[in-house]
Amino acid sequence: MSAEALDRLAEERVDHRFKGLPPDADGLTVGELAAQRRNLFTGGFTTPVLALSAERLEHNLALMETYATRHHLAFAPHGKTSMAPQLFRRQIERGAWGITLAVPHQVRVARAFGVQRVFLANELVDAAALKWISAELDADPSFRLICYVDSVRGVELMDAALSGARRPLDVVVELAAGEGARTGVRTEAECAAVADAVAGTRTLRLVGVAGYEGEVPQATPERVHAWLRRLVALAADFDKAGRFAGTDEIVVSAGGSAWFDAVADVFADIPELSAPVLKLLRSGAYVSHDDGHYRKLTPFNRVPEEGALEPAFRLWTQVVSRPSPEQAFTNAGKRDAAHDLDLPFAQVVRRDGTERPAAGIEVTGLSDQHAWLRTAPEAELEVGDWVGLGLSHPCTSFDKWQLIPVAEADGTVVDYIRTYF
């Protein structure tokens, strides 16, 4: 990645664009503010403020590096979770093959910071985006991008947009996770028709197969394993038919954040093919993990001897109203907290520098700028108290905050993560 582009992030000025940061830091650069090592609780930060745990972030990065190495998997973590180039760098420094993204805008962000390998886990038929990507490929021989195809019509549109390209665009046929799932080809016969369409172009090169097991209907370990075996069999059938002739490696890719243990199991048994196989895992939510959706579904719950991810986010809010003994309101709502899968979880209460468990406190709803709290008799809660909330689904946590403090356990803020959504 580009050290120069990343260094420029520290030169950005702190101002009103960035929620939760100290008002008296306006005009400082991000680097200058980080150098002050202010305390999250006493350094002038305003509520609500989202923070990442420095220790837990590092733990999660290291754990997944170890996991991918242990299972002989290449790793392209899904960057759309964070859209944070600083985290991209840390993932690549820990051995990631590249970064997975979902839409052209995200690829532009990655390229602006020098990411050299991108797996675009989506169909791409936008002519303007394809022309830009083609220009990037032609201008930089070391840049590689792989994307999905799932229809003959899509192949035709891509071929037309890429007319005149000097380098072909690498594509993988996406196998759908089942009837009623999201994108992807539904049958093996249709997969072959899409592959034939790719072979009929000069602008595209078929390099493998891929999909997303998280969309398997009524997912169970047995159903997910069965679908992954279909994906591997598709790769083997394509190879036997000579569809990967001319490629120096065959890509087989899957892996969200809920079933990567199944991916490791099945990919371990990929048979020998005509070229080396790039077994590409794409799990991304691990970087921050969460206190809801993925904490319940993480594969480490099923295979605890592999380790455990740790939730790294905490949203600090402040009680602004206590209208009755059974009810309180804090000043963070839908604009601040992920809420698409689970409501936030009250974890700790902070008063006068002391933290205690948020016993008897439950988040029951979110307005635009308020969290609704139900308080039981044992809840000691006053106006002015800070309430630390755990969040579910990191993909919709990062996107609400453009500059996120990274705090050590004692509250010392050691860095700021810039996001681009």
pLDDT at 297: 86
Q: Of 47, 49, 123, 121, which Cα lies nearest the Cα of 81? A: 121
Q: Identify whether the C-beta of residue 199 lies closer than 8 Å to the C-beta of residue 174.
A: no
User: Looking at the structure, do residues 126 and 264 belong to the same domain, yes or no?
Assistant: yes
pLDDT at 169: 98
Residue 100 in domain: no
- Exposure string of 35-56, with b = 16+ CB inside 10 Å and e = fewer, is eeebebbebebebbbbbbbbeb
Residue 390 in domain: yes
Residue 301 in domain: no
User: Looking at the structure, do residues 196 and 272 belong to the same domain, yes or no?
Assistant: yes
Residue 110 in domain: no
Q: Rounded to 10 degrees, what is the CA torsion of 400, 289, 229, 175? A: 0
pLDDT at 246: 86
Helix (H) / strand (E) containing 346 = strand 345-351
Residue 362 in domain: yes
Q: Strand, coil or helix: what is 302?
A: helix
Radius of gyration of the chain (CA): 23
Residue 302 in domain: no
Domain ends where: 283, 298, 323?
283
Residue 294 in domain: no
Q: Of 256, 282, 281, 279, which Cα lies nearest the Cα of 269? A: 279
Residue 395 in domain: yes
pLDDT in tens, 344-377: 999 999 999 999 999 999 999 999 999 999 999 9
User: Looking at the structure, do residues 271 and 169 belong to the same domain, yes or no?
Assistant: yes
Alpha carbon distances (Å) from 5 to 1, 10, 86, 91: 8, 10, 10, 17
The whole-number mean pLDDT for each consecutive block of 10 residues of the chain, a chain of 421 residues, reads: 96 97 98 98 98 98 98 96 97 98 98 98 98 98 98 98 97 95 96 98 98 94 97 98 96 95 97 98 96 90 95 98 98 96 97 97 98 96 98 93 98 98 92
CATH of the domain at 46: 2.40.37.20
User: Looking at the structure, do residues 319 and 356 belong to the same domain, yes or no?
Assistant: yes
Total domains present in the chain = 2
Torsions phi, psi for 368 (to 5 deg): -55, -45
User: Looking at the structure, do residues 364 and 241 belong to the same domain, yes or no?
Assistant: no
Q: Of 166, 147, 143, which Cα lies nearest the Cα of 158? A: 147
User: Looking at the structure, do residues 353 and 270 belong to the same domain, yes or no?
Assistant: no
User: Looking at the structure, do residues 258 and 320 belong to the same domain, yes or no?
Assistant: no
User: Looking at the structure, do residues 165 and 231 belong to the same domain, yes or no?
Assistant: yes
Q: Where are the beta strands (DSSP E) in 167-246?
A: 169-174, 204-210
pLDDT at 244: 98
pLDDT in tens, 391-407: 999 989 999 999 999 99
Tell me the C-alpha distance between 223 and 274, whole Å.
Answer: 28
pLDDT at 82: 96
